[in-house]
Amino acid sequence: MLVSTTEQLPGIQIAEVLGEVHGLLVASRGPFSDTAARVRTAFGGEVKSYGKLMAQSRAEAIARLKDAAADLGANAVVAMRFDTTAITDEMLEVAAYGTAVTTENPQHNQQLPPE
């Protein structure tokens, strides 16, 4: 499934807009990550465990976004965005959202297959 942050897809025509879709994930940081973060805050430097958590959370949110789009019959999502919100000191929500669409490839005049 094609997911794009742009509203238009160069060389691909949007045939139908199916509606808004989203993929949500609530992630929890573990006690070891928090301890490492406190040490890094005191001395400076990258907190790799948090970076890994965010990358994994975004990937899972996109996977859920794709599932939601496929459930509507879409083969692409346009105008995809991320939003991250701290729910508590230990939990955060990662949301991927966009517009589910079906597309046509004007060069071949056929609908692109879903993944």
First to last CA, the chain: 5
Q: What's the rounded mean pLDDT across residues 19-32?
A: 85
Q: Which of 11-15, 28-32, 36-40, 97-101 has the lowest mean pLDDT?
A: 36-40
Mean pLDDT of the residues in the chain = 84
Looking at the structure of the chain, the number of domains it has is 1
Give one DSSP letter per residue of 7-61, joined into a string.
SSBTTBEEEEEEEEEEEEEEEE--HHHHHHHHHHHHH----HHHHHHHHHHHHHH
Domain residues for 70?
Answer: 2-111
Instruction: Report helix, strand or coil for 62.
Output: helix
Q: According to the model, what pLDDT value does residue 98 have?
A: 98
Distances (CA, A) of 7 to 24, 43, 52, 62, 114: 21, 42, 29, 17, 19
Confidence of residue 49 (pLDDT cuts 50, 70, 90): confident
Predicted confidence at residue 90, as pLDDT, reads: 79
Enter the pTM of the model: 0.78
- CATH code for the domain of 53: 3.30.110.70
Query: SS3 of 111, please?
Result: strand
Whose CA is closest to 30, among 60, 53, 63, 5?
53
